[in-house]
Amino acid sequence: MKIGGYTSQPAIRAVDRARPAPRAGRRADEAAPATGADSAVEVGDFFGVPDTELTPKVREALMGLMDEVDSLRRELQAAKGKITDLEELADKDPLMPVANRRAFVREMSRMMSYTERYGVPSSLVFFDVNGLKQINDTMGHAAGDKALLAVASTLGEQVRDTDIVGRIGGDEFGVILAQADEDVARVKAQQLVDAVKARPVDIDGTIVHIDVAHGVFPFGKGDTASSALAEADRRMYRRKQEMKAADDPGTARPRAVNE
């Protein structure tokens, strides 16, 4: 992750920048004689101070300051790297290789603002893992985590770099499909469902097939992250009820939702 477009550059030793320009009358390719104290410093102006005016103690002090500046520069580079790592860690789910809810909501808000400002369609797909409670109850929570990890990995592998996958809750995931209208999002959502189904999980020798229900919600003017999540969740739940009714003809089929 880059911070504000920052790209790290190798530290430049201060002693290199302190090299004076060649004195008048000396050819540019003529090497300056080295001092006995430090061959990296040439005879001549040293930070604007003529070499003849530098005492050994002053020269030693200046060299010490340049070394300290160089050390501080390296420490700053290392600190920036640590900040980048911490920012990435703060945005990741603690168990899954996807964004956590906070980061997902933040990115969704940005995408919604972009959609509203430039009229570029984007959509949210809300996923709920079916039967996770049964896996936890019969095989243990470690098995449930393994099932969730399989879902998260599959979703991440099946989307573009411009899309965002996040874990919204315990068994709930969200996918932000950039530049995808409702029709495109529906097709992609079904592809993701099929990809999850095609990847069963081996849990201690038992093959567990995973299924997910989904709801699609295209971003529109005036929507907020919370309202989008709520509506996508509602559509997912309605779709799940329709699937249950289809599996059990004796159950009244709920009214279809326009999604």
Q: What separation in angstroms does the CA of 219 have from each of 151, 190, 192, 253?
A: 24, 19, 20, 28
Mean pLDDT of 154-170: 96
| Residue 89 pLDDT class (50, 70, 90 cuts) | low
DSSP string of 39-86, one letter each residue: TTSBSS-BTTB-GGG--HHHHHHHHHHHHHHHHHHHHHHHHHHHHHHH
Other Cβ atoms less than 10 A from the Cβ of 149: the count is 15
The pLDDT value recorded for residue 86 is 62
Region label for 156, one of left (φ > 0), alpha (ψ between -120 and 50) or beta (otherwise): alpha
Greater model confidence, 49 or 23: 49
The pLDDT value recorded for residue 246 is 79
Mean pLDDT of 132-140: 94
Closest Cα partner for 126 from 83, 71, 166? Answer: 166
Greater model confidence, 212 or 86: 212
Q: Which amino acid is at 206?
A: T
Q: Which tens digits make up the pLDDT trace of 73-85?
A: 888 888 887 776 6
As a whole number of angstroms, the distance between CA 166 and CA 155 comes to 9
Q: Which tens digits make up the pLDDT trace of 91-106?
A: 899 899 999 999 999 9
Please report, rounded to a whole number, the percentage of residues in the chain having pLDDT higher than 70: 74
Q: Which tens digits make up the pLDDT trace of 224-238?
A: 999 999 999 999 999
| Residue 24 pLDDT class (50, 70, 90 cuts) | very low
212 burial type by CB count under 10 A (0-12 exposed, 13-18 middle, 19+ buried): buried
Q: Is residue 22 pLDDT above 50, yes or no?
A: no
- Of 2-16, 42-56, 83-97, 99-113, the one with minimum mean pLDDT is 2-16
Distance separating the N- and C-terminal Cα atoms of the chain: 35
As a whole number of angstroms, the distance between CA 158 and CA 107 comes to 19
Mean pLDDT of 149-164: 96
The pLDDT value recorded for residue 85 is 64
